[in-house]
């Protein structure tokens, strides 16, 4: 893999992490823009975020292993 390809893989994964983070912020609010106050709902959203985040981190780790 060239340096450019590895950098591109890093870029794609990091961009997705930014998107996921922005999505989490939106998910922590209701349609009126008020923050959710139910701890169970917030925990659920955090778990979903962590699961998706782990996928992107795995992609970064796999890309460098293929180097």
Per-residue pLDDT tens for 12-63? Answer: 999 999 999 999 999 999 999 999 999 999 999 999 999 999 999 999 999 9
CA dist., res. 30 & res. 20, Å (int): 17
Which pTM value belongs to this model?
Answer: 0.87
> For residue 67, what pLDDT band results from cuts at 50, 70 and 90?
confident
- As a 3-state breakdown, the chain gives helix, strand, coil percent values, each rounded to 5, of 80, 5, 20
């Amino acid at each position: 893999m060239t340096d450019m390809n590895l950098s591109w893989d890093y870029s794609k994964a990091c961009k997705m992490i930014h998107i996921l983070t922005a999505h989490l912020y939106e998910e922590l609010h209701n349609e009126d823009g008020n923050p959710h106050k139910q701890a169970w709902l917030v925990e659920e959203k955090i778990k979903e975020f962590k699961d998706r985040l782990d996928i992107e981190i795995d992609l970064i780790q796999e890309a460098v292993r293929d180097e």
